[in-house]
């Protein structure tokens, strides 16, 4: 049983899986619970209505620290980006100083925190040096589009949509990671499930991961497949769909899980420092059991 956000990328993957009968090949019966908001998945997992949801390792580690034994397997390394209108005078991240900046997801959003950490290394404290508007991602995307905001830090799918409308990408958050100590693109999003459930369903999980890999493969090689799932993405035009496709492909995690975990450990420290206790909970370090290691071939 998996819970997905109806407009999320996971839903796209599942559509491909069904279209190609991958679930039958893997001998899995996938029950999909479609939900309408990102937080709904966490509720579904907590309430026991779903076995697998997609969210980030930050939350998993925090929950482990608080006693809920969840575990994580990489799903996507796609992160947000900083977007400005094409004609904007903003050229580099440092130019964001003194601007009106729309931050999607609020002050504990990982994109935002990573950006802050990066800029801090350059001696800029954006939190006090810019006018910041927190808010819901779609609303802020629209606000940036209408010109009310100078720039936005937003989730990658909204950025892709903006890009298709001619907006300029100042920087992808994933590009900032090396400077923060990570060795590569870290997959912050992943499949999350309960330890106990995982222990009893080892085989099922392995088959599930393999199945989704196959789907990712299809999506990364076949453009025709994108035409088929176009209605799901809500992309109003071909340009947006193309942007979605490219960003999605970039985000497919291809690194060994040990590397991912090592990077996560480093980034966690960075985030813990900047986000503080509120963000990471009682644990200053990434909880040891956060990553799921039982997949053959990692």
Which is closer to other proteins, CB of 134 or CB of 214? 134
- What is the token pair recorded at 169? 């990408």
H-only helix segments in the chain = 9-19, 22-25, 38-47, 57-66, 110-121, 126-129, 137-145, 156-164, 173-176, 195-200, 202-221, 223-233, 238-250, 257-280
The nearest distance, CB 10 to other proteins, in angstroms, is 13
Q: Which residue, 40 or 215, is less far from other proteins as judged by CB?
A: 40
Q: How far apart are CA 8 and CA 53, in angstroms?
A: 11
Q: Name the minimum Å distance from CB 62 to other proteins.
A: 7
Closest separation in Å from C-beta 214 to other proteins:
26
Please identify which residue in the block is written with the tokens 């390394």.
77
> Which residues are at the interface with other proteins (CB under 8 A)?
5-7, 33-37, 39-40, 42-44, 46-50, 59, 62-63, 67-68, 102, 105-108, 132-143, 146, 148, 234, 278-279, 281
Task: Tell the smallest beta-carbon distance from residue 157 to other proteins (Å).
Answer: 9
Nearer to other proteins, 48 or 122 (CB): 48
Q: Which of 175, 19, 156, 186 lies closest to 83 in space, CA to CA?
A: 156
Q: What are phi and psi of 71, to 5 degrees?
A: -145, 165
- Nearby residues of 147 by Cβ (< 8 Å), 6 or more positions away: 85
- CB contact set of 252 (below 8 Å; sequence gap of 6+): 76, 77, 216, 220
Phi/psi region, residue 90 (left: phi>0; alpha: psi -120 to 50; beta: rest), is: beta
Name the token pair of 182: 């990570």
Minimal distance, residue 131 CB to other proteins, in Å: 10
Cα 1 to Cα 3: distance, rounded to the nearest angstrom: 7
Nearer to other proteins, 103 or 211 (CB): 103
* Cβ closest to other proteins, residue 6 vs residue 120: 6
54 three-class SS = strand
Nearer to other proteins, 1 or 269 (CB): 1
Choose between 81 and 279: whose C-beta lies nearer to other proteins. Answer: 279
Nearest CB to other proteins, comparing residues 244 and 257: 244
Least separation, in Å, of the C-beta of 2 and other proteins?
A: 12
Least distance in Å: CB of 185 to other proteins?
23
Strands ordered across the beta sheet of 189-194: 53-56, 189-194, 70-76
> Tokens for 20?
């190609």
* Minimum separation from the CB atom of position 112 to other proteins (A): 12
Report the distance separating Cα 38 and Cα 49, nearest Å: 15
């Amino acid at each position: 049983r998996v819970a997905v956000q109806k407009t999320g990328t996971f839903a796209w993957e599942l559509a491909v899986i069904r279209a190609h009968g991958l679930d039958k090949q893997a001998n899995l019966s996938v029950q999909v619970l479609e939900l309408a908001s990102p937080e709904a998945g966490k509720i579904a997992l907590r309430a026991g209505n779903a076995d697998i949801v997609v969210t980030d390792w930050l939350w998993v580690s925090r929950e482990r620290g608080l006693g809920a034994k969840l575990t994580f397997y990489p799903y996507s390394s796609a992160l947000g980006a900083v977007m400005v209108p094409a004609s904007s005078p903003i050229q580099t991240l440092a130019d964001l100083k003194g601007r009106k900046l729309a931050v999607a997801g609020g002050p504990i959003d990982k994109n935002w925190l990573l950006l802050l950490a990066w800029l801090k290394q350059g001696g800029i404290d954006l939190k006090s040096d810019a006018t910041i508007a927190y808010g819901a991602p779609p609303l802020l995307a629209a606000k940036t589009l209408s010109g009310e905001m100078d720039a936005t830090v937003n989730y990658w799918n909204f950025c892709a949509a903006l890009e298709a409308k001619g907006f300029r990408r100042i920087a992808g958050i994933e590009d900032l990671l090396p400077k923060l100590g990570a060795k590569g693109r870290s997959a912050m999003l992943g499949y999350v499930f309960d330890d106990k459930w995982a222990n009893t369903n080892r085989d099922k999980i392995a088959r599930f991961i393999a199945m989704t890999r196959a789907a990712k493969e299809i999506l990364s090689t076949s453009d025709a497949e994108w035409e088929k799932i176009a209605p799901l993405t809500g992309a109003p035009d071909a340009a947006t769909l193309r942007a979605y496709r490219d960003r999605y492909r970039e985000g497919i995690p291809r690194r060994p899980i040990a590397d991912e975990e090592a990077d996560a450990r480093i980034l966690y420290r960075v985030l813990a420092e900047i986000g503080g206790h509120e963000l990471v909970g009682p644990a200053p370090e990434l909880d040891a059991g956060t990553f799921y290691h039982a997949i053959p071939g990692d």
